[in-house]
C-alpha cells in the first residue's frame, strides 16, 4: 500500500467534510486536515486543484456564499486569475472537501469512489 499521506482540505463545521473525515477514520486512512478558516488556501495547491479537477469542479456555485456574491464578483470566476483570487479570498466557494491522495486529487465526497481509490492504492 502507498505510504503517501492523505490531506483533506475544508472547513471543520461543513457537514460533508465531517462525513469525509469520519469515513477516512472508519477505513483506517491516516490523514492530515487543513482548515481553510484557520490556515487559508495554499496558492500553489489551489492552482494544482484547478488544473487537475477543473474550475467547474472546484468552484461551488450551489452554496450560499456564491449566491451572496454580487454579479461583478461572480463575473471574476470567468477568468482563471480572477477565479483563483476569488477562491483564495472566499474559501467557502471551494467545493469540499478537496483531498490530496498523494497521486491524485478529488473534490467532493463520494464513499463509492473513495472505496475504489483505496482498493487501487492497496493493490499498488
Task: Tell me if residue 108 falls in helix, strand or coil.
Answer: coil
- Residue 94 DSSP label: B
Q: How far is CA 98 from CA 48, 73, 111, 123, in A?
A: 11, 23, 14, 23
The answer to whether the CB of 63 falls within 8 A of the CB of 93 is yes
How many CA atoms, within 13 angstroms, populate the side-chain half-sphere of residue 11? Answer: 12
Q: So which residues are the catalytic ones? A: 14
Amino acid at each position: 500500500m502507498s505510504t503517501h499521506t492523505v490531506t483533506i482540505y475544508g472547513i471543520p463545521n461543513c457537514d460533508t467534510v465531517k462525513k469525509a473525515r469520519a469515513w477516512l477514520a472508519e477505513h483506517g486512512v491516516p490523514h492530515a486536515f487543513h482548515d481553510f478558516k484557520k490556515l487559508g488556501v495554499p496558492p500553489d495547491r489551489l492552482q494544482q486543484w484547478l488544473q487537475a479537477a477543473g474550475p467547474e469542479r472546484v468552484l461551488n456555485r450551489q452554496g450560499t456564499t456564491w449566491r451572496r456574491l454580487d454579479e461583478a464578483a461572480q463575473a471574476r470566476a470567468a477568468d482563471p486569475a480572477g477565479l483563483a483570487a476569488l477562491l483564495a479570498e472566499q474559501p467557502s466557494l471551494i467545493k469540499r472537501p478537496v483531498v490530496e491522495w498523494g497521486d491524485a486529487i478529488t473534490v467532493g465526497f463520494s464513499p463509492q469512489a473513495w472505496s475504489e481509490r483505496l482498493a487501487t492504492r492497496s493493490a499498488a
